[in-house]
Structure 1
Amino acid sequence: MKWTSTLLAGGTLLLSGCLLSQEARVESDYSYSGQFRRYRSYEFVRGEGLNSDTSRLGAAVRDAIRTRLKVQGYHLARRRPDLLVNFHLFEGDMRFRGYQQEDFTKWVANGSAEDEDTPREARKGYQPVRLLLSEGTLLVTLIDNRSHRAIWNGYASGVSVPAGPRGEVVLRRSVRSIFDQYHVFTAGYLSGQSPAGLDED
């Protein structure tokens, strides 16, 4: 199954009063073909709107993502990054198709990953789940730059972004909550090793 569609599933979480006192649903899902132990570098996918270089809200989201990934050992790389990071803010209610999966942290800890050599009988199946996301959703997608497939999605729904600096605060806190679902440190980072040869920003 190709991972060009949105991948969603997971648990819930109540964010702070900065989300306008609404209960935000924070969840994630992942591709079984993701090589999560291999990734060390990333770059942002840029475009229009929130993803543009000139958007203040987009800059707040990128800065929050950059800060979180740095804490987990990832480096920003302009050339040949392992991961491409994309994000989008959807307004209003949305219907998404997610997938029922085992805990992501457990999956990564077991060193599991599927590829073309994985026997059909040993492959995990994707169990679709219909989800209703309400009152605005911030979606963050990690894409394997080598295969060009989405390998992880995290999102917070129920996110209302007010105008001005307060909106930036809301988005930064939403990003932190989303990446609480992505418990992956780069190989060797916790033991003090640091990858070399990366073109950092």
Structure 2
Amino acid sequence: MNWTTTLLAGASLLLSGCLLSQEARVESDYSYAGQFRRYRTYEFVSGEGLNADSSRLGEAVRDAIRSRLKVQGYHLARRRPDLLISFRLFEGDMRFRGYQQEDFTKWVKNGYTEDENTPKDARKGYQPVRLLLSEGTLLVTLIDNRSNRAIWNGYASGVSVPPGPRGEVVLRRSVRSIFDQYHVFTAGYLNGQSPAGSDED
């Protein structure tokens, strides 16, 4: 199964069928192939929508992500970053396919990683769940730059962005809630070590 294709399709398509919940939520799912202990640097993906938005709303999201990742030891890197970060704001209600998985923090702490050498009978497998995310959803995706595969999705529903400064507050708060799901500090950061190869503090 191509996990990346499934993940991105689930993020962008409205799915039909039985829904598990209609309540606003903040959740995440992840790839078992993610090398979460290895990542130290990042860069934002440029593109359409909010990613390319140079207005205060787009910058509010980028600034909130930068602030949170700095606290966790990550550095912005223009050249060969470990992670690429994409984000997108969906308006209105959205049917979304997530995954029922082991707690992400526990997965990372135990150091598990699957790759092409992992025996088929030892692989975890992805158990999809269908959700209804209401009143707007902010989706943040982390992509492994080396493999070009999405390795983590965080999403917050109930994100209705009013005009003006209030909209910036809503987006910053949503980013904080999303990254509360991503409890990964860079290797050595808590011991006072700084990542090598960063272009910008």
TM-score scaled to structure 1, two decimals? Answer: 0.89
Structure 1 residue 49: deviation in Å?
A: 2.5
Structure 1 residue 97: deviation in Å?
A: 1.0
Matching residue's letter, 1:4: T
Structure 1 residue 53: deviation in Å?
A: 4.9
Gaps of 5+ in 1: 9-22
RMSD (Å) for aligned C-alpha atoms: 1.4
Alignment of 1:127 onto 2:127 = yes
- Corresponding residue for 1:6? 7
Structure 1 residue 46: deviation in Å?
A: 1.1
Structure 1 residue 55: deviation in Å?
A: 2.4
Alignment of 1:94 onto 2:88 = no
Once the two structures are aligned, what percentage of the paired residues are identical?
87
Any idea what SS the aligned residue of 2:7 has?
A: coil
Any idea what SS the aligned residue of 2:113 has?
A: coil
Give every structure 1 segment of 4 or more consecutive aligned residues whose post-TM-superposition deviation is greater than 2 Å.
Answer: 4-8
Contact 2:74 2:195 in 1 (8 A): no
Structure 1 residue 4: deviation in Å?
A: 2.8
Query: Which structure is higher in helix share?
Result: 2
- Corresponding residue for 2:155? 155
- Corresponding residue for 2:18? none
Matched residues, number: 187
Aligned residue runs from structure 1 range 44-193, under 5 A:
44-193=44-193
TM-score scaled to structure 2, two decimals? Answer: 0.89
Change (3 A) 1:70 1:31: same
Matching residue's letter, 1:92: G
- How far apart, CA to CA, are the structure 1 residues paired with 2:6 and 2:150? 8
- Once the two structures are superposed, what CA deviation does each residue of 1:54-89 show, in whole Å capped at 9, x if it has no partner? 222110000000000000000000000000000000
Gaps of 5+ in 2: 11-22
Matching residue's letter, 1:119: P
Structure 1 residue 174: deviation in Å?
A: 0.3
